[in-house]
């Protein structure tokens, strides 16, 4: 049995803005606190339009921060740069930093791997976004906007990107993405929060129970670039169509787990959906605390990364070191390397079109 964290019809959350820290160049990072009484509270930063903390009650009403974060500015600009951040202009990987757009190949900036990851070396996670308060009838939050000029990290076309965080009193955090361009380009935005429903810095997620509404996934090569075709999850460690502990199948001997370094770092192809609005992509549950998050999205895929490469070198805001499996990311998205894969859903955006995407994280607590 799972109950909402706050009665329906509760008052919309309050919104508070306050200075958080100062960048080396003197610019101020603001923190926006979205409150919902004793239920869910979210803290988001203008640096990277990022979810820095999210407090949720367990089955006994005890609240804890359930997302990993950086302890300070140095970490947010370094090892924790992706934690909770809005990722763009293109989430995940583009092979060899080569971007074909309508017959022209653009050279993108790459990381040390030779591929472009999460928008390039200076992606949207490293930018200071503009922010304004948003209030609706039963939700409140903050809208972040960012201008990315033509040639930014090698991407063609000027782009205006936006992401709105909206929290309601029932425990749902909605992320609404939008973008418009002045020349043909690609857009693929996501959020890179790592969840640990036992509490940030509190052990691993190996005992969390995960279900993913996908019958296929995209296998990768040794550099985590998809081959192209989708493979069935049936009879593999990637079959999460029924709820299973995260660690249950990671001990299996499977070449895809080996290539990813001993965990999941793959895109699941969500089942076809005929309805309107976001549909369930994944459900994550911590049996010990009773906390549960349902991830709903309008996106066709979800990249799941189990944080198995964390090595303890990064310390979170709670003072604990993040070791292997300290958190799990559920990154709703279009598929990796889509510009090179005509059979994948297109990420091309042209002038006059508008990119729209919605993801909802719906929190609840199992009452036993």
For the cut 50, the answer to whether the pLDDT of residue 87 exceeds it is: yes
d(CA 269, CA 281): 9
Q: What is the mean pLDDT of the chain?
A: 95
Radius of gyration of the chain (CA): 19
pLDDT digits (tens, 9 = 90+) for 279-338: 999 999 999 999 999 999 999 999 999 999 999 999 999 999 999 999 999 999 999 999
For the cut 60, the answer to whether the pLDDT of residue 9 exceeds it is: no
DSSP string, 109-128: P--TTSSEETTSTT-GGGSB
Cβ within 8 Å of residue 301, ≥6 positions away: 214, 218, 267, 268, 269, 270, 332, 333, 334, 335
pLDDT band at 36 (very low <50, low <70, confident <90, very high): low
pLDDT of 6 reads 44
d(CA 267, CA 214): 10
pLDDT band at 38 (very low <50, low <70, confident <90, very high): confident
Catalytic residues: 192, 331
pLDDT of 211 reads 98
Per-residue tokens: 250: 């990671």
pLDDT of 32 reads 98
Domain map (residue ranges) of the chain: 2-366
Report domain 2-366's class: mainly beta
For the cut 80, the answer to whether the pLDDT of residue 195 exceeds it is: yes
pLDDT band at 355 (very low <50, low <70, confident <90, very high): very high
pLDDT of 10 reads 62
d(CA 300, CA 317): 33
pLDDT band at 368 (very low <50, low <70, confident <90, very high): low
pLDDT band at 12 (very low <50, low <70, confident <90, very high): confident
pLDDT of 167 reads 96
pLDDT band at 367 (very low <50, low <70, confident <90, very high): confident
Residue 115: how many other CB atoms lie within 10 Å: 20
Instruction: Report helix, strand or coil for 9.
Output: coil
Q: Which residue, chain included where needed, has tokens 């090569």?
A: 221
The answer to whether the beta carbons of residues 125 and 76 sit under 8 Å apart is no
pLDDT of 275 reads 82
pLDDT digits (tens, 9 = 90+) for 99-121: 999 999 999 999 999 999 999 99
Percent of the chain with pLDDT over 90: 90
Q: Which residue, chain included where needed, has tokens 């990796």?
A: 336
pLDDT digits (tens, 9 = 90+) for 129-168: 999 999 998 999 999 999 999 999 999 999 999 999 999 9
For the cut 50, the answer to whether the pLDDT of residue 1 exceeds it is: no
pLDDT digits (tens, 9 = 90+) for 77-86: 999 999 999 9
Sign of the CA dihedral with 355 first, then 42, 277, and 190 last: positive
User: Does the reported pTM lie above 0.75?
Assistant: yes
d(CA 296, CA 278): 5
3 or 63: which leads in pLDDT = 63
5 or 200: which leads in pLDDT = 200
- Name the phi and psi angles at 255, rounded to 5: -60, -30
d(CA 214, CA 216): 6
């Amino acid at each position: 049995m799972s109950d909402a964290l706050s009665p329906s019809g509760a008052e919309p959350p309050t919104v508070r803005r306050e200075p958080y820290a100062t960048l080396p160049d003197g610019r101020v990072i603001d923190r926006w606190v979205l409150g919902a009484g004793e239920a869910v509270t979210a803290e988001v930063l203008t640096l990277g339009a990022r979810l820095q903390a999210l407090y949720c009650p367990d089955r006994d009403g005890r609240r804890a921060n359930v997302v990993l974060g950086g302890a300070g500015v140095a970490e947010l600009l370094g090892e924790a740069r992706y934690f909770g951040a809005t990722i763009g202009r293109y989430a995940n990987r583009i092979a060899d930093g080569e971007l074909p757009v309508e017959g022209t190949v653009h050279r993108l900036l790459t990381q040390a791997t030779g591929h472009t990851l999460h928008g390039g070396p200076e992606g949207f996670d490293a930018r200071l976004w503009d922010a304004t308060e948003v209030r609706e009838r039963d939700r409140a939050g903050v809208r972040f906007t960012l201008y990315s000029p033509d040639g930014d990290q090698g991407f063609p076309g000027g782009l205006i990107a936006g992401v709105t965080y909206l929290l309601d009193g029932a425990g749902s955090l909605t992320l609404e993405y939008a973008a418009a361009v002045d020349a043909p380009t690609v857009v693929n935005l996501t959020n890179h929060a790592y969840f640990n429903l036992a509490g940030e810095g509190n052990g691993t997620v190996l005992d969390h129970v995960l279900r993913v509404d996908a019958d296929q996934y995209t296998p990768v090569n040794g550099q985590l670039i998809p081959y192209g075709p989708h493979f069935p999850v049936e009879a593999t460690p990637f079959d999460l169509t029924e709820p299973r502990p995260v660690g249950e199948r990671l001990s299996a001997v499977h070449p895809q787990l080996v290539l990813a370094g001993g965990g999941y770092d793959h895109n699941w192809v969500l089942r076809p959906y005929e309805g309107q609005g976001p549909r369930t992509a994944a459900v994550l549950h911590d049996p010990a605390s009773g906390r549960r998050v349902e991830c709903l999205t309008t996106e066709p895929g979800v990249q799941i990364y189990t944080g198995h490469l964390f090595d303890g070198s990064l310390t979170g805001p709670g003072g604990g070191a993040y070791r292997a499996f300290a958190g799990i990311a559920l990154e709703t998205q279009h598929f990796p390397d889509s510009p090179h894969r005509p059979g994948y859903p297109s990420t091309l955006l042209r002038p006059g079109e508008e990119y729209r995407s919605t993801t909802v994280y719906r929190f609840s607590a199992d009452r036993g």
